[in-house]
């Protein structure tokens, strides 16, 4: 009888421990077998009204002037003076450094959504949860490099000013 009471106690204590180990294992084990990202990428913090359309043509960044003549919506005063800012994110250090447009145009870029080593840059989730149990804000402002089940959080600069678009991936740096 005493043995049965002890067994029930041991099982009751083991279940939460096993659940924690299972969750930790399902998060960290997939990352052990995944190679770390290798390719740096260029991203832009764009002003919606900067007057240019940016695209990658034959591996180089091209800035085409947008013809605003006859546009249905006028550009708000003072907005066009804020230029698009370009950054190179060095994945090995998880840091970003600002580059001039001319410097970005000198780089060879791959504008596919997935890097040559299989990673994609994705934005975090919205959050929300089920009230009142899982109420949280989410991580929509965060950016991750994701491949299969592995993800690495990137320290990417953001601008929270009016008329600025969310971070835009320009391309992967090919060296």
pLDDT of the chain along its 175 residues, tens only? 566 668 888 888 899 999 999 988 877 777 777 888 999 999 998 876 677 888 999 999 998 887 666 555 555 555 555 678 899 999 999 999 999 999 999 999 999 999 999 999 998 765 555 555 555 555 666 888 999 878 888 988 776 665 566 788 999 999 8
Confidence (pLDDT) at 85? 87
| Residue 68: how many other CB atoms lie within 10 Å | 12
Confidence (pLDDT) at 150? 82
Indicate yes or no: pTM above 0.95: no
Longest CA pairwise span in the chain (Å): 89
Q: E strands of the chain, at which residues?
A: 41-45, 52-57, 60-65, 85-90, 95-99, 109-110, 120-123, 143-147, 150-154, 168-173
Confidence (pLDDT) at 58? 93
Confidence (pLDDT) at 57? 93
| Residue 140: how many other CB atoms lie within 10 Å | 12
């Amino acid at each position: 009888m005493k043995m049965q009471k002890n067994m029930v106690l041991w099982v009751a204590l083991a279940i939460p421990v096993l659940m924690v180990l299972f969750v930790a294992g399902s998060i960290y084990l997939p990352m052990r077998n995944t190679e770390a990202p290798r390719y740096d990428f260029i991203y832009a913090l764009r002003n919606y009204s900067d007057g240019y359309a940016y695209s990658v043509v034959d591996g180089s960044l091209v800035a085409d002037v947008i013809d605003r003549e006859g546009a249905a919506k006028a550009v708000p005063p003072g907005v066009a003076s804020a230029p698009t800012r370009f950054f190179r994110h060095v994945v090995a250090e998880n840091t970003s450094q600002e580059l001039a447009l001319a410097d970005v145009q000198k780089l060879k870029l791959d504008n596919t959504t997935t890097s040559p080593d299989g990673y994609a840059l994705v934005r975090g989730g919205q959050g929300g949860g089920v009230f009142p149990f899982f109420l949280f804000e989410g991580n929509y402002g965060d950016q991750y490099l994701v491949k299969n089940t592995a993800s690495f959080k990137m320290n990417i600069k953001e601008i929270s000013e009016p008329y600025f678009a969310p971070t835009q991936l320009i391309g992967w740096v090919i060296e």
